[in-house]
Structure 1
Amino acid sequence: MQKKSFLYHIICMLFSMGLFSQNLKLTVYGETELKTAKIDSVGYNANHKDFESINNEVYLLNAKLQKIGYIESDVEFIKKTNDSSFNCKIVLKRRYKTIHIYYNTSTVSEKILKMVSGEVNLNYFTLNIENVEAALVLINQKLSEQGQPFLKLKLSDFKPDAASSLSATLVVESKSDQRTIDNIIVKGYDKFPKSFLKHYLKIKPKQVFDLKRIQEKTEQLRNLRFANEIKPPEVLFTKDSTTLYLYIKKNTSNTFDGFLGFGTNEQTNKLDFDGYLNLSLNNNLNYGESFRLLYKSDENAQKTFESNLTLPYLFKSPIGIDFLLRIFKRDTSFTTVNQSVKAFYQVNSKHKIYTGIQLTESNNLLSTNTTNSILDYKTFYTNVGYEFIQPQFSNLLFPIKSKLLLETNFGKRSISQESENQILLIIDAFKIFNLNDKNSIYIRGNANNLNSKNYLENELIRFGGINSIRGFEENSLFASMYGLINTEYRYQIDNNIYLHSIIDFAYYQNKLTNIEEKLYGYGFGFGIRTNAGLLKFNYANGKNENSKFKLSNSKIHISLVTYF
């Protein structure tokens, strides 16, 4: 019985100690009621579990007061008034509102000081007391970006200037001279093209060392299809050198893309098939080069062959070259061959400008041509253009977030001995508006305009199909000018499956036949990432403004994009 009573008293004692430890009351006051009110306005925690917590709170409060200008404040005492209450007196003394900081112009520039102060003089600058800490952090950061990573700043020689002002001296301590990058070592992808380091990332030896800026540059690796950053860059400092380590991996970036389309032929009422094959090879030689091969067979007995070779940063320069060959054959009517060469400058990871020439030769295959709308001709164009691409490669279903292409072509078309000036304008842009993780809206605008005194059928712009206005046969529409808008509402079920709507609108003119028409396309589709690649399915129905909706006009397109 005595044992139970002893345990009962122990439990009660521990419980009462627990209650006591959670109910200590702290009251802080100053020399006057006004200063006590100032302390209360700064704020502190009045309830504590033990004396150590009270002690920490008092010195934290004193540090806050010093930061707002009471730099001479001092804790006079902390004393216990009863079992659960403690009083503390803090002597605030004078409050300083501003500080004049004297500096050496050889160690910190006036330009940097103007980032933190609105009042910079020849040998001192002025700050509000509460902004001193943030200002010193920013000055330290800016000086570090100039190649001094081991820099330290402090204020010394504090003196009162006036009733509410102080003066101090800015001391800059550096353990080494300005640092520059001496060596760059790539880990993980040893054959990463060195020209991309220099011109794409703009990281090169003898450059002033700034780790923050380097990290921002290496993040641009996410904009490359063939490489990515494994982890942030690291640096090794020795007494005489600075070595930068970049951690990069090579990505699978080759693609094989194809689709099969089928629909009902309006003349024969039979099922027609069409499709294309699109092969893209990227960085297989570790120079950042790309090669594309396209073959397309349309349901209108039209065939397209296209090859494109891009060589960036030739001879370690910022200039690249792009070669294009395109052959188009329309049944037994005509063939058209386009050849172009473009020199481009990659401004940065998103922006590119280019200029070049384009040669076109078209031949009439008809034995008789009663309308003279298809003739042999040649054109020579010079062009200038701009391209913007913003990737989002973290999204495997939609790797490109936005794109803008502007191109102007000036030249002449020659028929026999006659020539005529022409201008061809091209605009192609799209953007994905991400509403949240699952919902997004895709909007694309595309326009082409051929400006000429007269037109030939075999030089008109061809459009229609999966890559322009959906619900129409591939390249079935001929225009001297057209503009179209593609829209999709996309719902991403997970990282591998999405559904989308199709609402397209187009307006085109054919000045050869004096046709002006509005076109509409409606439908839906989905995409699925499989082990073989990205499988896409589109169902769309197209109509013009004067025709009725017919289910028989619907088109189904199936495509598969494979990475290898």
Structure 2
Amino acid sequence: MRKTFFLYLIIYVFFSSLLHSQNLLLKIEGETERETTLIDSITYKKIHLDYASIKNEVLSLQNTVLKNGYIENDFKGINKINDTVFLASLHLKKKYQKLSIYYDTSILDKKLLQLISKDIFKDHFIIDIKNTDDVLNFINAKISEKGYPFSRLYLSDITIKDNTNLEANLIVESNEQKRTINNIVIKGYEKFPRSFLKHYIKIKPSQTFNLDAIKKKSEKFRDLRFVTEAKAPEILFSKDSTTLYLYLNKTKSNSFDGFLGFGTNDKTNKLDFNGYLDLNLTNNLNYGESFKLLYKGEQNEQKLFETNLTLPYLFKSPIGLDLALRIFNKDSSFITVNQSAKIHYQINPNQKVSSGILSIQSNNLLNINTSSTIVDYKSNYFTLAYQFLKRQSHNAIFPIKTNVSIETNFGKRKQTSQTEQQSLIALDAYKIFNLDPKNSIFLRTQGTTLNSNTYLENELIRFGGINSLRGFEENSIYATLYGLINTEYRFLLNNNLYAHTLTDAAYLENKITATKQKLFGYGIGFGLFAKTGLFKLNYAIGHTENQDFNFSNYKIQISFISSF
């Protein structure tokens, strides 16, 4: 008897759970076959677990047809056909197509309404009824942007205008005064230079409060090397003030770069070494300033010393200052000193324009002047420059996606016996084309031209080396005009290691020697990114247009960029 009882109990529990877990079918029909077809076209959920789910689905569908213009729809109820099938009846009735909305002209202007309607009149505008929710949300967002984040928007007095149209009044309620940013509090990096906040990020006190605009502007912090945004901005509202909280962290933005190069000397057939030092210091004084020091000691007895100082937003103004000093020494032939001072204006985070002066002085160091083209001279130029820079902050190895720099210089060169008009124009532009997360193409073009009636050897443009034409010695090529294209195909092996090909091509003219020449560089390289910095190695072979390809004319260039 006891065994029979437990057997019945097991059977009851098992089949009871199956009964309770069975699916219920919902069918919704209209008053006519046409209405049923329209309801089916909306697509509603037909399979449910319980009756409450069925009821919510019918109410949801009723709300959907209401928004589509069936404002007089009539829900007849839900009937149970059997244990698993339920039938709901919904009479759609007449569909209304258009809605005329009457508004207060002091709140909304026609420029705003032109974005949402093609039919605008003196005191009302007309929209499709199906777009009502989107239109009201859009208007409410625009009102919030004007400093009223707690405004309430709704339609009242909805009435039938004619057979296919409705009309209503637009009511906007706001129980507060216009909100502006009264105070800005920076957490984490309290010494962040406020001038950047005002002129670069474009956020400042007394600005009309607009949360969406603030979040969009705060994304510009990604373009600053010395700061990161810890989390999204937050707002504290009080009765009579609005406080904006920004959460920032100061980041490592200094870098040290050096490389060691070696290759076969064509004259001695021995291995030669050369290298350089590149030091960049950024925002160490919490002013946003940057200082660069570059020194190159090259195997062809050339020496280069260069410093650059950038002081942004002087006296909290949108104007900044760029100072530069460049000293180039060619063995015992000559020494050239370039000094420049430019005032720049940051148009936006990506664009900058500048103007200033460039002064060049060169002296002949030869005791006995065997060259008539190496003479003492002084040049003074007026400079205009433009830069476009776009970063890809998600990529630590290649942080800059696009960089375009154009500089024009117009002035005079003075010698002992004559003065001559000159112009010096330079372009440097590159872009990374990301094919997918692992594959990319790097394309760079450089070019400089010196325009003059006569030319001196110690004023010629110098290029070649790891940062221009690879496979050649640093600054070993002289020209009055040159154009250069660098290309690389890059493959990311993992998040910290990449390999690449390199193909360089250059064209040059030298009007002193009356030569025109084409140069090429080919090779491969790889880069390794670690916590200590970025290690790069290039193997490149350079040759000229009429020269046989020779694998012995190689250059191996190693560099290491360390951030601190």
Instruction: Name the TM tier (shorter chain).
Output: over 0.9
Structure 1 position 317, deviation (Å): 0.5
* Partner residue, 1:552: 552
SS of corresponding position for 1:236: strand
Q: Matches of 1:392 and 1:544 in 2, distance apart? A: 36
* Partner residue, 1:518: 518
* Partner residue, 2:183: 183
SS of corresponding position for 2:353: strand
SS of corresponding position for 1:54: helix
Deviates more, 1:72-81 or 1:215-224: 72-81
Q: Matches of 1:432 and 1:57 in 2, distance apart? A: 51
| Structure 1 residues 250-289: aligned runs within 5 Å | 250-289=250-289
Q: Matches of 2:159 and 2:63 in 1, distance apart? A: 19
Matched, 1:2 2:4: yes
| Structure 1 residues 125-524: aligned runs within 5 Å | 125-524=125-524
Structure 1 position 12, deviation (Å): 4.9
What is the identity, as a one-letter code, of the residue corresponding to 1:473?
E
Structure 1 position 84, deviation (Å): 2.5
What is the identity, as a one-letter code, of the residue corresponding to 1:96?
Y
Question: Any stretches of 5+ residues in structure 1 without a counterpart?
Answer: none
Structure 1 position 230, deviation (Å): 0.8
SS of corresponding position for 1:395: coil
Q: Matches of 2:155 and 2:546 in 1, distance apart? A: 80
Matched, 1:42 2:42: yes
SS of corresponding position for 2:8: helix
Structure 1 position 479, deviation (Å): 0.3
Q: Matches of 1:16 and 1:223 in 2, distance apart? A: 60
Q: Matches of 2:307 and 2:259 in 1, distance apart? A: 18
What is the identity, as a one-letter code, of the residue corresponding to 2:498?
Y
SS of corresponding position for 2:107: coil
Q: Matches of 2:451 and 2:183 in 1, distance apart? A: 54
What is the identity, as a one-letter code, of the residue corresponding to 2:84?
S
Structure 1 position 221, deviation (Å): 0.6
Structure 1 position 16, deviation (Å): 4.6
Question: Any stretches of 5+ residues in structure 2 without a counterpart?
Answer: none
| Structure 1 residues 17-166: aligned runs within 5 Å | 17-18=19-20, 21-22=22-23, 24-166=24-166
Structure 1 position 65, deviation (Å): 0.7
What is the identity, as a one-letter code, of the residue corresponding to 1:339?
Q
Q: Matches of 1:242 and 1:16 in 2, distance apart? A: 58
User: Do the aligned residues in 2 keep the contact of 1:101 with 1:167 (CA within 8 Å)?
Assistant: yes
Shift >6 Å, 4+ stretches: none
Structure 1 position 6, deviation (Å): 1.0
User: Do the aligned residues in 2 keep the contact of 1:344 with 1:355 (CA within 8 Å)?
Assistant: yes
Q: Matches of 2:222 and 2:101 in 1, distance apart? A: 43
What is the identity, as a one-letter code, of the residue corresponding to 2:7?
S
SS of corresponding position for 1:493: strand
Q: Give deviations 1:22-43, integer Å, cap 9, x for gaps.
A: 1x33222222222222222222
SS of corresponding position for 2:139: helix
Q: Give deviations 1:396-447, integer Å, cap 9, x for gaps.
A: 1111111000111101111113111111111100001111111111000000
What is the identity, as a one-letter code, of the residue corresponding to 2:5?
K
Q: Give deviations 1:250-308, integer Å, cap 9, x for gaps.
A: 11111111111111111111111111101111111111111111110111100000111
Q: Matches of 1:458 and 1:74 in 2, distance apart? A: 92
Q: Give deviations 1:166-200, integer Å, cap 9, x for gaps.
A: 00011111131110010011110111001111111
What is the identity, as a one-letter code, of the residue corresponding to 1:388?
F
What is the identity, as a one-letter code, of the residue corresponding to 2:59?
Y
Calculate the TM-score normalised by the size of structure 2.
0.98
What is the identity, as a one-letter code, of the residue corresponding to 1:17?
L
What is the identity, as a one-letter code, of the residue corresponding to 2:335?
T
Structure 1 position 496, deviation (Å): 1.3
Deviates more, 1:114-123 or 1:473-482: 114-123
SS of corresponding position for 1:551: coil
SS of corresponding position for 2:494: coil
Structure 1 position 15, deviation (Å): 4.8
Closer, same or farther: CA 532–170 of 1 in aligned 2, 3 Å: same
Structure 1 position 3, deviation (Å): 2.5
Q: Matches of 2:191 and 2:459 in 1, distance apart? A: 45
SS of corresponding position for 1:310: strand
Q: Matches of 2:495 and 2:175 in 1, distance apart? A: 50
Q: Matches of 2:371 and 2:84 in 1, distance apart? A: 108
What is the identity, as a one-letter code, of the residue corresponding to 1:79?
N
SS of corresponding position for 1:552: coil
Q: Matches of 1:239 and 1:91 in 2, distance apart? A: 49
SS of corresponding position for 1:442: strand
Structure 1 position 394, deviation (Å): 2.4
What is the identity, as a one-letter code, of the residue corresponding to 1:171?
I
Q: Matches of 1:499 and 1:78 in 2, distance apart? A: 67
Structure 1 position 46, deviation (Å): 2.7
Q: Give deviations 1:89-114, integer Å, cap 9, x for gaps.
A: 11212211100001011222222222
What is the identity, as a one-letter code, of the residue corresponding to 2:414?
S
What is the identity, as a one-letter code, of the residue corresponding to 2:9?
L
Q: Matches of 1:253 and 1:12 in 2, distance apart? A: 68
Deviates more, 1:342-351 or 1:388-397: 388-397
Q: Matches of 1:35 and 1:382 in 2, distance apart? A: 78
User: Do the aligned residues in 2 keep the contact of 1:332 with 1:366 (CA within 8 Å)?
Assistant: yes
Q: Matches of 1:81 and 1:165 in 2, distance apart? A: 38
Structure 1 position 368, deviation (Å): 2.2
What is the identity, as a one-letter code, of the residue corresponding to 1:377?
Y
User: Do the aligned residues in 2 keep the contact of 1:396 with 1:495 (CA within 8 Å)?
Assistant: no
Structure 1 position 237, deviation (Å): 0.5
Structure 1 position 141, deviation (Å): 0.7
Structure 1 position 88, deviation (Å): 1.5
Q: Matches of 2:403 and 2:329 in 1, distance apart? A: 30
Percent identical residues? 53
What is the identity, as a one-letter code, of the residue corresponding to 2:26?
L
Matched, 1:13 2:15: yes
Q: Matches of 1:231 and 1:500 in 2, distance apart? A: 35
Deviates more, 1:538-547 or 1:24-33: 24-33
Structure 1 position 8, deviation (Å): 4.1
